Structure 1
């Protein structure tokens, strides 16, 4: 694992949002903040959990993104696997070439 920054994206069913948000906020040694955006999940692997989702034809989801170093992303994923086992959270990481704040 390296010190290079990555963007970790989690796709969270709306029913788990509050629980995942609380979990991430508690991981102060790894996560300094995150951004969440509403989304609609489509595809054969997407579980439509409510009658409303079945009627609409997509799952109500939230995309959660955080920037952290690669080894911290790995540690966070290990913790997520324990705390959210069986929930089928989808995730991916992507390299970040630049990250900062415009003042």
Structure 2
């Protein structure tokens, strides 16, 4: 377990997936890896971008989880805010009690 580790979660429209993945790949001083998955966004704050999304009733999104030290998460989030302005990106940070790899 690393003291002060957090999980930074990012959610944004799926059409920005490749751009976000490329961007995170460039942040080598902060991001050592991440996990991603497709998601379906629901709720009053979710923008349904296409006719397909309006018919389905949810937004096609991507969700990314990154485990890193709290200070690095804050630095990365500042960068993301600058680079992904007006994209309706949703985020949150949660503490991580334990993180490791079982080989």
TM-score calculated relative to the size of structure 2: 0.96
Deviations 1:55-79 (A, max 9, x none): 0000001110010000000000000
Q: Distance in 1 between matches of 2:38 and 2:86?
A: 22
> Offset of 1:44 from its aligned partner?
0.5
4+ runs deviating over 2 angstroms: none
Deviations 1:28-76 (A, max 9, x none): 0000000001110000110000110000000001110010000000000
Corresponding residue number in structure 1 for 2:86: 86
Matched, 1:35 2:13: no
Query: Number of aligned pairs?
Result: 101
State the Cα RMSD in Å: 0.8
Unaligned runs of 5+ in 1: none
Corresponding residue number in structure 1 for 2:95: 95
> Offset of 1:13 from its aligned partner?
0.6
Matched, 1:68 2:102: no
